[in-house]
Structure 1
Amino acid sequence: MSSTQEQAPRDDRGEAVMAVAEAAGPTGPSPAAEAGPSQPGRSWRGVRALLVRLHFYAGVFVAPFLLVAALTGLAYTFTPQLDQLVYGDQLRVEQVGNGPRPLTEQIAAARDAHPEGTLASVITPPGPEDTTRVVLSLPELGDKQRTVFVDPYTAKVQGELTTWYGSTPLTTWLDDLHRNLHLGETGRLYSEVAASWLWVIVAGGLVLWLGRARGQRARSARGVLLPDRSARGVRRTRSRHAATGVWLAIGLFFLSATGLTWSHYAGDHFGQLLDAAKGHAPELVTTLPGGAETAEGEHAGHAGHGTGHDSASTDPADFDAVLAVARDAGLGGRVELTPPEDAVSAWTVAQDDNRWPVQYDQVAVDPAKGEVTAESRWSDYPALAKLSKLGVQGHMGLLFGLANQILLALIALGLIFVIVWGYRMWWQRRPMRDDRAAVFGKAPARGTWRQLPLPVLIIGVPAVVALGWALPVLGITLIGFLVLDVAAGLVRPGRAA
């Protein structure tokens, strides 16, 4: 032990020094000592030491991204309740009536109040207390739309909002905050860094916590799942950090995986995987018989998003006729009706119920003949497409309603505490002297890769390269950590390289 450590005060500070030695792994023994009779033991010591250093770098430099993602995700989790609080006058009817007025009347009322733009679609109410949405496209709104909210029982307009794919202004703002911090495509890098490293940090932490050699406590479920109340100082902080991480692990793995599916770079590679595995949602053919075939994907209900349709060529009475055909075809609940973009295309009617059991059936309808010309059923989705769709809805807190929201909120809060405890450990591990204390904690020893057996390196290096290709942001930031590590060695050449 160094002279600095020998002079450290007892109690919490002394335990902090002991924890540094434990966390840093085997740094003192010579190569001869490492090459003991137990090759598996040597392999584990080398892997553990490398994981400690990787966990340290990722924890210190990626944790800020994770903290922002947790805070913004926590805010987004309760957008359904916030929408009802802020936009209740638009979203809910004043009084539930005996039966809804025809869509023709509701559309006429919306157009009388808002003649601007072109009619893009109509969304039926999801419940008896909800309003009908008449969606208008205006060129000046870009990819957003003007949604007019109409009481289905009285055909009275209750207000309008600028929406983005059906989301209210507040939900859209919080969504952009969580996704890109309102910085556009560049801002998406923050969330991809967080999603790319989250599973690595969690997996490394689990291996370190479950594989530690600390006697009977390490072999008991209580020692793994519950903090050690008898511990003091940095050991107590580490116990809370690790035990909470174990409880959160499955949820954090889920959020990492689902977040990566719609990220920029990793999401592109995931899309290539779906292409190769034919795992995309089935397309809905919207061309009327005799026309050149076109198809819409799973977002067929948003086919007219941002474009709209010539109101002069769309008969409002067709909405009622098309809705009746879709209901006969089995499309219940909330549906979005979108007029065709040209004379050779059919109407599209798409369910959009994101709550379990989800409803995503779609049909193409020819109103002149009153028949379905094509259909796409949720039951026909490939397994990968279903998992991807359900994963996204679970990530957004929509799949299981309030229970889903509460679970996400607990995970976000737990992650915030884990991050705070992680930084507290770093601070508690700072070198201590009688006259002063270091500002920052001590980093684990360098040169840990040298302790790895050759077979581990032969398998590990190609695996890391493959991961770097699949998750480009992970690969680039990992290279950044290596450069930083080399730079640290040049600044302090006395330490192992």
Structure 2
Amino acid sequence: MTTQIDPAPSGSAPPRATSPRSTTGSGWFRAFWRWHFYASFLVAPVLLVLAVTGLIYLFRFQLEPLIHADLMKVEAPSATSIQQPYANQLAAVERELPDATVVSMAEPRSEGRSTVFSVTMPDESVRDVFVNPYGAEVLGSLDPDTTLSGYAVRIHAELMAGTWGDRLIELAVCWAIVMAVTGYYLFWKGRKARARQKKVLRTRHAQIGVVAGVGLLMLLVSGLPWTGFWGARAQELATDRGTSMWSLDHGAISDPTSTLDESLPHSHATDVPWAQGATEVPRSGEPTGEEGERSVSNVDTAIAVADGEGLRHPMTVALPEDDGGVFSVIGYAFDAPSDERTVHVDQYGGGVVSTYGFEDYPTLAKVVAHGIGLHEGRSFGYWSMAGSTLMCLLVIASCVTGPLMWWRRRPSGSIGAPRGRMPLRGTPVLLVGLVALGILLPFFGISVLVVLLLDQLVVRRVPALAGRLNTS
């Protein structure tokens, strides 16, 4: 919300309130405007990328079947056709890819869709294998990372640049919060000037920003638990205090399915206690009877047992990793995080080894689960989807109209930054708030210190830079 407004009446001389140490409304306005302006340079490009990739991710279940209809869509041979048992479909995958390890199976999301098996190849790459549930025939496979939604997820998470990309996004998120807060200040204080000057682009940008800001703040805050630095430190603090931001299901595994299936509860994080040997994973009981006479369950047994336990379809089943492993059946909870529930089924007798659901989460994990549901536009069905879509479109519009305003008004020989400094000396509350924000968001705090040092030690001592950056 780069609201380009001059608070002084048209034709009047600039008031002395624009002094660097001023604590009057005009001084605050120009100082916030300047911070909003510079934050936008970092934030707008990243937010634009996040909004576009987020939009693609929102509609992944509509887009991918259109792009890969030969793999994801099927037709029943006749009105009386029935689906083959999942065990038969699994056997077809194992025949087609004898060297692959089948990790999980996801039931068809709806009628006319294929069954999806996630497999690990000998080179440790992951493939999604699609099976026609009526004929138990393998239709083909995809690398989930190279689909449209796969690329969108990787860009959205780390700009496909690993740790550096993750850190850049986290830095942009911190400054986006500052941009949103300063934008609301500018919107409120500049309302009279907007009404008087009636500049269409400025007014549209302000109107878009005042709506987008609410959703943007929600998306930014709910996305912080995923970040590599802030999220990891927050989880460490939570663990030290006997709680967690994620579920603590001893029997769950971190990523049993590909990025194409999102019925999996997101509370199953990547770095989980059982993966570090901190807790014991539930195990199947010892097989009984002679070899060949043992009662052995299969994926259909696991589905039937989970259905009896009340889990919702379509289910995702993580297959046993070894002879002592269990079938981990995860119920569909895409549209309701509070329905997240996993049933672990013995691979021999077919009994329930353990269950774990939303009601068992730590309180903090429940909050995070709902926040992630809102972030992904899935907590309230189509209403949530529509709201997230609208927010993405408004963020895109804001990221376009802001730079466009700057481009139209930029003066020759300068970037056109507003003049003004934050009146920190005369406003202790503002200083305390800035320090608190810097502690809560370390990347923001460090970047502010860097900016202030560069401003004092470099920019203000080099006349050419001071002129171009409109240093007061």
TM-score by length of 2: 0.78
Secondary structure (helix, strand or coil) at the match of 1:65 reads helix
Confirm or deny that 1:425 pairs with 2:425.
Answer: no
Matched residues, percent identical? 30
CA deviations on 1:342-368 (whole Å, 9 max, x unpaired) are 444433211243124763211122243
Cα distance in 1 for residues equivalent to 2:35 and 2:16 = 19
Task: Say yes or no: does 1:237 pair with 2:201.
Answer: yes
For 1:195-210, list aligned pairs within 5 A: 195-210=173-188
Conserved in 1, the CA contact under 8 Å of 2:317 and 2:328? yes
1:210, CA displacement in angstroms?
Answer: 1.4
Would the aligned equivalents of 2:33 and 2:186 in 1 still touch at CA under 8 Å? yes
Q: 1:477 — aligned with what?
A: 447
1:182 is displaced (CA, Å) by 2.0
Read off the aligned partner of 2:33 and give its amino acid letter: V
Q: Which runs of 5+ in 1 are unaligned?
A: 1-15, 35-41, 219-226, 288-295, 306-311, 432-437
How far, CA to CA, are the matches of 1:124 and 1:471 in structure 2?
41
SS in 2 for 1:130: coil
CA contact (8 A) 1:285 1:375 kept: no
1:250 and 2:214 aligned: yes
| CA–CA distance in structure 1, aligned partners of residues 338 and 332 of structure 2 | 8
Whether the 8 Å contact between 1:104 and 1:317 is mirrored in structure 2 is no
Q: 1:442 aligns with which of 402, 413, 416?
A: 416
Distance across 2 between alignment mates of 1:394 and 1:341: 33
Check 1:66–1:324 CA distance in 2 against 1; reply closer, same or farther (3 A cut): closer
Aligned to 2:285: none
What is the SS of the residue equivalent to 1:139? coil
Which string of whole-angstrom CA distances, capped at 9 and with x for unpartnered residues, describes residues 36-94 of structure 1?
A: xxxxxx46555434322211221234322223323333333322222011122222222
Residue 281 of structure 2 aligns with which residue? none
TM-score by length of 1: 0.74
Q: Superposition pairs for residues 316-465 of structure 1, below 5 Å?
A: 318-356=298-336, 359-400=339-380, 402-431=382-411, 438=412, 440-449=414-423, 452-453=425-426, 456-457=427-428, 459-465=429-435
Computing the radius of gyration from Cα coordinates, the structure with the larger value is 1
Structure 2 unaligned spans of 5+ = 253-264, 276-290
Deviations 1:388-414 (A, max 9, x none): 223223323444455544433332332
Task: Give the match for residue 157 of structure 2.
Answer: 179
1:362–1:377 CA contact under 8 A, matched in 2:
yes
Of stretches 101-110 and 354-363 in structure 1, the one that deviates more from structure 2 is 354-363
Residues in 2 aligned to 1:351 and 1:181: alpha-carbon distance in whole angstroms: 31
Give the letter aligned to residue 491 of structure 1: V
Cα deviation 1:108-147 (Å, max 9, x = unaligned): 22222222212222222232322222332223144xx222
The answer for the alignment partner of 1:115 in structure 2 is 98
Aligned twin of 2:462: 491
Whether the 8 Å contact between 2:325 and 2:347 is mirrored in structure 1 is no
In structure 2, the residue matched to 1:80 is: 61
CA 1:357 to 1:60, structure 2 compared with 1: closer, same or farther past 3 Å?
closer
Distance 1:26 1:460, change over 3 A: farther
| Matched letter for residue 19 of structure 1 | D
- Paired with 2:298 and 2:53, the residues of 1 have a C-alpha distance of 42
2-side partners of 1:30 and 1:356: how far apart? 51
**Relative to structure 2, which stretch is displaced further, 203-212 or 73-82?**
73-82
Picking from 210, 233, 240, the partner of 1:269 is: 233
Maintained 8 Å contact 1:359/1:378: yes
Separation in structure 1 between the aligned mates of residue 59 and residue 386 of structure 2, nearest angstrom: 9
Question: What is the total number of aligned residue pairs between the two structures?
Answer: 429
2:321 counterpart SS class: coil
Q: In the TM superposition, what is the alpha-carbon distance from 1:302 to its structure 2 partner?
A: 12
Larger CA deviation: 193-202 vs 60-69: 60-69
1:28 and 2:11 are equivalent in the alignment: no
The worse-fitting range, judged by mean Cα deviation, of 390-399 and 373-382 is 390-399
Mapped contact 1:107–1:316 kept (Cα < 8 A): no
Contact 2:30 2:420 (8 Å CA) reproduced: no
Residue deviations 1:282-329, cap 9 Å, x none? 433449xxxxxxxx9943999999xxxxxx999985222222222211
1:128 lines up with 2:115 in the alignment: no
8 Å CA contact retained: 1:27, 1:445: no
SS of equivalent residue, structure 2 residue 316: strand
What is the one-letter code of the residue matched to 1:490? R
